[in-house]
A and B are shown apart, each in its own frame.
Chain A
Amino acid sequence: MATLVLTAPQDMLARTAAELISKHGGVDRQRKLRDDGDELAYSPEVWAEMADLGWLGIPFAESHGGLGMGMAETVLITEAMGRGLAPEPFVSAVVFGGGLIADAGTAEQRAAWLPQLIDGEKRLAPALLEAGSRYGLDRVETRAQSNGGGWSLSGEKVQVVGGVGADGFLIAARTEGGLTLFLVPAAADGLEVVAQKRVDSRNSAIVRLNGVQVGAGDVLGDVGGGLEPLGRVVDRATVAVCGEMLGVMTEAFERTIDYLKSRSQFGVLIGTFQALKHRAAKMFIEIELCRSTVMAAARALDAGDSDAELQVSNAKARCSDALILVTNEALQMHGGIGMTDEHDIGLFMKRARALEFAFGDAAFHRQRFARLRGF
């Protein structure tokens, strides 16, 4: 198994990422975007800077125009983003969307999308979820009917992260024999994008497909064979989300520890109370465990280890439980002020829930772990 320490370049990358996020205002930026009701719900200038630094190309092979790094580096970016609650759709557009094209696309499809995606000029939004999907990748009602050499797509996708303003969508639709992936330009006739408001105020959309006509060349991968690449790339996106979760929990925890050292009651700092100390110490341990699982899962995917799926589910289950624990405790330990909209801790809690439910919650991944282990 790979070594679980950061190399010097990885350490550097993590620092640079943290600097970029805080330079642009950290959590204040997320708050302002929310308060302004900004339609895009993220900052194009931050996205552009991420592109300039090459980060949008991190998970892609050099032959695809990327930096040829892996998940080990990707999670460093998402962790920094999580710390500052950065709302840019990095996981959805790059790791998931771009990842699908790199994994399942033809040479033409890659050439048409990846360079511009990596440059930050075009954005993809994978449209996976439907109202009844929960976490099953194959729980898809959207249909694709073949007609005259092409396909006609009908259905409704929800909570498409980064969907507002996206240039293209990756749609999973039911075809005879299975699930098929389609690459659909946002401008396609019959495709309607409606902004959706979620508790985390992130860019999210409903995508309605009313008989959208696409060509045979817009199929991504094999007809009826969409589930396999989808599963592979979702595992990568899941670990990227785990990195983000690690960032969110670490920041919420550190802010809480600072609060325990600054707030006084009964004439002493509340951090002197053992009832709080012990809970803080347990959270610290949980976060340490999460960090190990995220690093291990990222490296297992990069190495193509046979236990990679197991590591992914282990990380996602652990991070989901720990993130909810930490953000709930963070709010509790802040007392009344934590319940106010003015205080930031609530923003962490809201983001936490969205991340918990991304690509399967803890219970889902425990079940998957047990299934993979055969018991």
Chain B
Amino acid sequence: MSDLTAFREEARAWVEGNAPEFLRGKASDPNAWAAGGRKASFIYPESRDWLLAAADRGFSVPTWPEQYGGAALSRDEALVLQEEFARLALPMPLTGFGYSMIGPTLLDHGTEAQKAEHLPKIARGEIRWCQGYSEPNAGSDLASLATSAVRDGDFYVINGQKIWTSGADQADWIFMLVRTNPDVKKQRGITFILVDMESPGVEVRPIRLISGASPFCETFFHNVRAPVHQVISEVNSGWTVAKALLGHERTSIGGMGRGGARTSLPDLARDYVGVDDAGRIDDPALRERVTQCEMDAMSYGLTVKRHGDGLEAGHKPGPESSMFKYYGTELNMRREELMLSIRGPQALGWEGEGFEPEELNQTRTWLRSRANSIEGGTSEIQLNIIAKRVLGLPD
């Protein structure tokens, strides 16, 4: 307890001393988020300062070991740090698939050499990653993927197509699933491999989202050569690694359900709807929806905490990432819809005059949020996983 208090003081002093003034209050501004990489373009230059300051202190990847660029924080300390960021409504210094997906996966499944090669570059925001799982004919049924990799000396030669590869046009490296054995049960012939996007034969074509921005891509591979030492775990046992990574991905996506430092729903409703004589949101139906959403977020946050406390106390991790992915995303989507209802016609802006910047932002984040129950495995797939792995219901 007293350790945590001491850490909070330290974290608070550090945040006060290092967080750029300009970024304070910008937690929910996507333009303030930094995913780094060789092609990094910081919309606000302050985001770069914030990332570098955090990286110097290990706070870009707070729970990672120090030798890989982290600060070796305990889970509780990391939560305190997050709370201190949230206190000033600061954006996370580093976001992206390196930080949330491949990093944690390498920590568990990488060799010493692989960790030493990749983790520090993620921590400093030097290399940005993308995820090559989905293919045109392998979405929910991911294990049916067909992109092939054939061994040639110290290399694998990769041919095929990925799709919905978020940020592939911005990324420096891709972690991907390839078929190394077509003659066994589909899950048994998959390998997890890391590929430099600058390798000859990689071609990226952006696709536009309904929100207009943040393209995801089709990614093509024509005789792309990737060194054998970039295989994670064993050849043909990539499915296990893939699922572990999905666990991290789902927990990370589900984290959006907690609300955190973002716009306060009651404040927004007071602003747009007004209050009655008793100071209540002046629309009983909307007030009820706000209340339900706030209570759901509170209950969800407590459940995330309870499972975290359980892990800390030595409970075995189970398939709860599916529960968090399902509930967290559904909750976030409901929240976005509710914010539309609260803003009413002012939520209809696309660009230009007549709308405040945060209203224009709202339109886009709402549209983007519709993907939450699709990306990282659809809601239906999460429910299937719970039914099978948690409840043991028959196939």
Whether B183 sits at the interface, judged by CB under 8 Å, is no
A 295-323 binary contact with B (CB < 8 Å = 1; else 0): 11000000000000010001001100000
Which residues in A have their C-beta under 8 angstroms from that of B280? 370, 375
Q: Is the CB of B287 within 8 A of A370?
A: yes
Check: A194 CB closer than 8 A to any chain B CB. Answer: no
Q: Which of B299, B320, B394 is close to A271, meaning CB atoms less than 8 Å apart?
A: B394
Instruction: Find residues 277-315 in chain B having any chain A CB closer than 8 Å to their own CB.
Output: 279-281, 287-288, 290-292, 294-295, 298-300, 302-303, 305-306, 309-310, 312-313, 315
Closest residue of chain B to A254 (Cβ to Cβ) is: B391
In the complex, the answer to whether A375 meets B270 with C-beta atoms within 8 Å is yes
- Interface-forming stretch among B47-55, B151-159, B378-386? B378-386
The listed residue (B310, B383, B384, B392) touching A282 by CB distance below 8 A is: B383
Known: A4-B306, A271-B394, A272-B394. A375 touches B387 (CB 8 A): no
Given A289-B300, A373-B294, is A281 in contact with B288 using a C-beta cutoff of 8 Å?
no
Across the interface, do B384 and A289 meet the contact criterion of CB distance under 8 Å?
Answer: no
Selected contact of A375 from candidates B266, B302, B384, CB within 8 Å: B266
Chain B residues whose C-beta falls within 8 Å of the C-beta of A260 in the assembled complex: 393
| Bound-complex Cα distance A179 to B315 (A) | 48
Check B374 for interface membership: any CB of A closer than 8 A: no
A350 contacts partner chain B, Cβ-Cβ < 8 Å: no
With a cutoff of 8 Å between Cβ atoms, the chain A residues found around residue B395 in the complex are 272
Residues of chain A within 8 A (CB-CB) of B295 are 314, 317-318, 366, 369
**Interfacial chain B residues near A288, Cβ < 8 Å:** 303, 320, 323
B327 at the interface (CB under 8 A from A): yes
Considering the complex, which residues of chain A in the window 255-275 have a beta carbon less than 8 Å from any beta carbon of chain B?
Answer: 257, 260-261, 268-269, 271-272, 274
| Chain A residues near B384 (CB-CB < 8 A) | 274, 277-278, 281
B133 on the interface (CB 8 Å rule)?
Answer: no
Known interface pairs A291-B306, A295-B306, A296-B302; A284-B390 also in contact (CB < 8 Å): yes
Q: Which of B299, B326, B392 has the most CB of A within 10 A?
A: B299
Q: Is there contact, CB below 8 Å, between B387 and A278?
A: yes
Tell me the bound Cα distance from A367 to B312 in angstroms. Answer: 35
Q: Which residues of B contact A296 (CB under 8 A)?
A: 302, 306
Convert A357-375 into 0s and 1s, putting 1 for each residue whose CB lies closer than 8 angstroms to a CB of B.
0000000001101100111
Chain B interface SS verdict (over half) = helix
Report whether B291 and A370 are in contact in the complex, using a CB–CB cutoff of 8 Å. Answer: yes
CA distance A366 to B288 in the complex (A): 8
Q: A4 CA to B302 CA in the complex, in Å?
A: 8
B269 at the interface (CB under 8 A from A): yes
CB distance from A250 to the nearest CB of B (A): 13
Which residues of B81-110 have CB atoms within 8 Å of chain A's CB atoms? none
Does A285 make an interface contact (CB < 8 A)? yes
Q: Which residue of A lies closest to B290 (CB)?
A: A375
Q: Of all chain B residues, which has the CB nearest A276?
A: B393
Chain A residues whose CB sits within 8 angstroms of the CB of B300 once the complex forms: 289
Q: How far does the alpha carbon of A317 sit from the alpha carbon of B294 in the complex, in Å?
A: 12
Residue in contact with A366 in the complex, picked from B266, B291, B305, B326, CB distance below 8 Å: B291
With an 8 A cutoff between CB atoms, is A340 at the interface?
A: no
CB proximity of B258 to chain A, nearest CB, Å = 13
Partner of B326, one of A5, A285, A314: A285
A280 interfacial by beta-carbon distance below 8 Å: yes
Task: Select which of A269, A281, A293, A318 is within 8 A of B387 by beta carbon.
Answer: A281
Task: List residues of chain B with CB within 8 A of the CB of A374.
Answer: 266, 279
Interface flag for A199 (CB, 8 Å): no
Q: How far is the CA of A5 from the CA of B307 in the complex (A)?
A: 8
For A291, the chain B residues whose CB sits under 8 A away are 303, 306
Return the contact of B323 from the options A1, A274, A285 (Cβ within 8 A).
Answer: A285
Looking at chain B, what size class is its interface with the partner chain? 35 or more
Do residues A5 and B310 form an inter-chain contact, with CB atoms below 8 A?
yes
Q: Provided the pairs A5-B310, A366-B288, A375-B266 are in contact, do residues A314 and B298 lie with their beta carbons within 8 angstroms?
A: yes
Which residues of chain A are within 8 angstroms of B269 by Cβ–Cβ distance? 375
A285 with B386, Cβ < 8 A, contacts A4-B309, A292-B299, A373-B266 known: yes
Q: Shortest CB–CB separation between residue B10 and chain A, in angstroms?
A: 21
**Is A63 located at the chain interface by the 8 A CB criterion?**
no
User: When chains A and B are docked, how far (Å) is the Cα of A260 from the Cα of B395?
Assistant: 12
Chain A residues within 8 Å of B288, by CB = 366
Q: Are B386 and A284 in contact (CB under 8 A)?
A: yes
**In the complex, what's the smallest C-beta–C-beta distance from A256 to chain B, in angstroms?**
10
**Cα separation A252 to B39 with both chains bound (whole Å):** 56
Query: Which residue from chain B places its CB closest to the CB of A317 in the assembled complex?
Result: B295
C-alpha gap A274/B384 in the complex (Å): 8
Q: Which of B291, B299, B309, B393 contacts A318 (CB 8 A)?
A: B299
Taking the closest CB of chain A, its distance from the CB of B221, in whole angstroms, is: 35
User: How far, in whole Å, are A281 and B395 apart by their CA atoms in the complex?
Assistant: 14
Q: Complex Cα distance A257/B391, Å? A: 7
Contact pick for A280, options B292, B313, B380, B393, CB 8 Å: B393
Tell me the complex Cα distance, A177–B303, Å: 43
Interface residues of A in 130-184 (CB under 8 A from B): none
State which residues 212-251 of A face B: CB under 8 Å: none
Chain B residues in 8 Å Cβ range of A373: 266, 294
User: Which residue of chain A has its CB nearest to the CB of B388?
Assistant: A277
- For B301, the closest partner residue in chain A by CB is A292
Residues of B within 8 A of A278 (CB): 380, 383-384, 387
Which residues of chain A come closer than 8 Å to B383, judged between CB atoms? 277-278, 281-282
Closest Cβ–Cβ distance, residue A284 to chain B (whole Å): 6
Q: Which residues of A contact B303 (CB under 8 A)?
A: 288-289, 291-292
| Contact yes or no, A261 B266, CB < 8 A | no
Q: Which of A1-53 contact B (CB under 8 A)?
A: 1, 3-5
Known: A272-B393, A293-B299. 12 other contacts (CB 8 A): A3-B309, A4-B306, A5-B315, A269-B394, A280-B387, A281-B387, A284-B386, A285-B327, A285-B386, A289-B300, A289-B302, A292-B302
Pairs of residues from A and B, 5 with the lowest C-beta to C-beta distance, nearest first: A277-B387, A4-B306, A375-B266, A281-B386, A292-B302
Can you sample 27 A-B contacts with CB below 8 Å?
A4-B309, A4-B310, A260-B393, A261-B394, A268-B394, A272-B393, A277-B391, A277-B393, A278-B380, A280-B391, A281-B387, A284-B390, A289-B300, A289-B302, A289-B303, A292-B302, A292-B305, A293-B298, A318-B299, A366-B291, A369-B294, A370-B280, A370-B290, A374-B279, A375-B270, A375-B281, A375-B287
Residues of chain A whose beta carbon lies under 8 Å from any beta carbon of chain B: 1, 3-5, 257, 260-261, 268-269, 271-272, 274, 277-278, 280-282, 284-285, 288-293, 295-296, 310, 314, 317-318, 366-367, 369-370, 373-375
